[in-house]
Amino acid sequence: MARPREFDTTEALNQATQVFWSKGYEATSLSDLVDAMKLSKSSFYDTFGSKHEVFLAAIEHYKKTVACQIASVATLEAPARKLIAGLFERAVSRITEKDGRRGCFLNNCAVEVALHDPQAAKLIGGGFGIVEDTFRALIERGQKEGDIDKNKDARALARYLTSSLNGLMVVGKANPDPKALADIARITLTALD
């Protein structure tokens, strides 16, 4: 009879995500993971299988937590344009906070592994898709509210905003100057006019 797990899988994934987010996939060792996750090697292998499998699980976990938090913005009762601006303002605020220079976990994963890891690329693309769908819903709502140009293609504009938000986070890793990042966000939002 198998012994029951004596650890919280969600918390273990939270910790694994933090390690991958801080160090990247390649620089993260098995020791880094088992230490952060507070697991024995046997529990790690029994539960997750490999470093790559826990990495994929971490990406999926991030999608279900952080990306879905972004998606929840579309359910808020406020003008859509204001909500879109708020997502950019939060990105600027986050990247300029003490630990914010790690950037976006999905961005980091995309840059490091997506080209050579089709499984990770698919999961990362799914995360970006959640953000894009959120922007699209907000854009369509803003068009109905009259605050966003009705002649703009909502899907194309959502893709542009997703790309711009991700680019903002990448730029902020190298140059976390709040004024420069706010300028980028402000100019980006003129695409809604």
Superfamily (CATH) of domain 59-192: Tetracycline Repressor, domain 2 (1.10.357.10)
Percent of the chain with pLDDT over 90: 90
Residues 6 and 38: beta-carbon distance below 8 Å: no
- Model pLDDT, residue 68: 87
- Model pLDDT, residue 6: 63
H or E element that contains 55: helix 51-62
- Model pLDDT, residue 4: 46
Question: Per-residue pLDDT for 125 more than 70?
Answer: yes
Question: Per-residue pLDDT for 3 more than 80?
Answer: no
- Model pLDDT, residue 74: 95
DSSP state of 73: G
Q: Over the stretch 64-114, which tens digit does the pLDDT of each residue have?
A: 998 889 999 999 999 999 999 999 999 999 999 887 788 999 999 999 999
- Model pLDDT, residue 98: 80
Percent of the chain with pLDDT over 70: 96
Nearest residue to 99 (alpha-carbon basis) of 29, 173, 168, 184: 173
What's the number of CA atoms in the CB half-sphere (13 Å) around residue 193?
A: 6
Q: Over the stretch 64-77, which tens digit does the pLDDT of each residue have?
A: 998 889 999 999 99
H or E element that contains 80: helix 80-95
Give the pLDDT mean for 160-178. 95
